[in-house]
């Protein structure tokens, strides 16, 4: 779900700089708008890749074919249907799951050409036909129900804004926050541009010039630009003195990333799993920020996240954008004092306050160097760290499959007990989820794709 969101920054930049008040070059603005026009297709392709075990391109093709067939089918049965990005998410998910099920299928000799991965787009197309018929029977009812729920959030004022902000953060550990985001930012509300085009969603309407849009984005700016920086300072301030310097370096980079780009995972994952009560507080403060910005009549939008870059790019579309600055400064101190008090009062194990277990991880890794057939790498080799991840995961014989999302390495394992959580954290991971049988998730951050690719390369070289 992060992949389509990641396409929006460049689209937003093109859309913005092509406007009459900047370069006044219509074709640049149109090029940026094209990404927004094809968001459902992008979601279909991205979801298919994400669900496919090995992120293979065949799944992406199947996602596109499934979406195209599905939309043609359901439009023929319900001419006025508008499923937005839901249609892309649905067919992308189906394509990815069908890829995992049928990628190795064997067919009779006379049909062997269509076996294996080539079968996936075919079966996805047939599934799309069936789903189009099924959805046509009840989508009208669902659409009305979802619209009512969304309208409640949109029109219920401060309460709806608070609920949206609170759930947006609280659902991140489950990876479900993008569902409500797609509802509010891309689906609900409608605005007709001067050229007569109808656009929907708080985000799209904002950049189309709707003066009422931006309420469901403005509240994230004080949190991502200022509040999380205060949170980072609180974790440095409460860290053990001997660890404070190292923690300060990590937290500074994470806070700067959040401030400039709006990528909050490096900071949020640093306390999400170690001190979940703090994360609930963070979610509550995000909800309150939505309300505060609305009370101050601040309307701001973003194409990727609530960051300095998006603040500058969307400034001329905004309503009372200067009011963000004092509100943000207040949020910086609010986060700092609340987090400092909570960490000390409840003795939360935030970074720099963990139990000192120096050496434990290294000893366990040494024990695991008997991993059958694993190639050894010198410490200065770029693949050395990847090999250490494999050892900490119980050796290559304990790994069934491996993949990643935007910030997590996801590993299907034979035995969860063979995974050395201490060693994994000492390799730089921000957290680990190892309580689901046969599945381990290592929280790494935005560099997860690079590390995962190196782990896969080591596994491939060790065959």
Task: Cite the active site residues.
Answer: 405
The conformational region for residue 351 under phi > 0 = left, psi -120 to 50 = alpha, else beta, is: beta
Q: How far apart are CA 448 and CA 457, in angstroms?
A: 14
Closest CA to 236 of 253, 217, 219, 214: 253
Helix axes 265-272, 228-237, angle to 10 degrees: 50
Strand partners, 459: none
Contact 133, 116 (CB under 8 A): no
Q: How far apart are CA 128 and CA 78, in angstroms?
A: 15
Q: How many CB atoms lie within 10 A of CB 460?
A: 9
Scored b (16 or more CB within 10 A) or e, 268-279 reads bbbbbbbbeebb
Q: How far apart are CA 117 and CA 364, in angstroms?
A: 40
Closest CA to 327 of 301, 353, 359, 294: 294
């Amino acid at each position: 779900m992060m992949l389509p969101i990641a396409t929006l920054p460049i689209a937003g930049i093109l859309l913005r700089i092509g406007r009459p008040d900047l370069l006044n070059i219509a074709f640049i603005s149109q090029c940026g708008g094209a990404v927004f026009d094809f968001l459902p297709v992008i979601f279909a392709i991205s979801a298919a890749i994400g669900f496919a075990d090995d992120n293979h391109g065949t799944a992406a093709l199947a996602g596109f074919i499934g979406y195209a067939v599905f939309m043609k089918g359901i439009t023929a049965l319900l001419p006025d249907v508008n499923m937005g990005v839901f249609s892309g998410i649905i067919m992308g998910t189906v394509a990815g799951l069908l890829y995992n099920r049928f990628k190795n299928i064997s067919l009779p000799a006379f049909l062997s050409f269509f076996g294996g991965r080539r079968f996936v787009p075919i079966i996805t197309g047939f599934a799309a036909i069936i789903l189009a018929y099924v959805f046509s029977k009840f989508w009208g009812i669902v659409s009305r129900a979802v619209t009512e729920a969304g309208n409640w959030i949109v029109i219920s004022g401060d309460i709806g804004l608070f609920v949206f902000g609170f759930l947006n953060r609280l659902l991140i550990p489950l990876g479900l926050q993008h569902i409500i985001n797609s509802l509010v930012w891309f689906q609900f509300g409608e605005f007709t541009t001067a050229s007569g085009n109808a656009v929907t969603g708080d985000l799209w309407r904002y950049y189309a010039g709707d003066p009422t849009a931006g309420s469901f984005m403005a509240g994230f700016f004080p949190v991502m630009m200022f509040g999380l920086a205060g949170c980072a300072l609180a974790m440095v301030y409460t860290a053990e003195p001997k660890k404070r310097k190292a923690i300060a370096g990590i937290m500074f980079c994470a806070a700067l990333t959040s401030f400039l780009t709006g990528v909050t995972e490096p900071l949020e994952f640093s306390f999400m799993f170690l001190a979940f009560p703090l994360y609930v507080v963070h979610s509550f403060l995000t909800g309150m920020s939505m309300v505060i910005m609305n009370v101050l009549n601040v309307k701001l939008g973003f194409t990727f996240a609530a960051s300095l870059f998006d603040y500058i790019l969307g400034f001329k579309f905004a309503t009372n954008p200067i009011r963000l600055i004092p509100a943000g400064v207040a949020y910086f101190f609010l986060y700092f004092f609340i987090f400092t008090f909570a960490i000390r009062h409840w003795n939360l194990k935030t970074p720099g306050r963990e139990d000192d277990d120096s050496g434990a991880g290294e000893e366990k890794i040494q024990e695991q160097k008997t991993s059958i057939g694993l190639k050894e790498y010198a410490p200065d080799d770029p693949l050395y760290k990847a090999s250490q991840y494999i050892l900490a995961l119980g050796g290559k014989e304990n790994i069934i499959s491996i993949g990643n999302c935007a910030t997590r390495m996801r590993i299907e394992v034979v035995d969860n007990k063979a995974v050395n959580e201490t060693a994994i954290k000492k390799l730089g991971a921000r957290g680990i989820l190892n309580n689901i049988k046969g599945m381990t998730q290592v929280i790494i951050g935005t560099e997860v794709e690079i590390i995962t690719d190196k782990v896969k390369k080591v596994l491939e070289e060790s065959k």
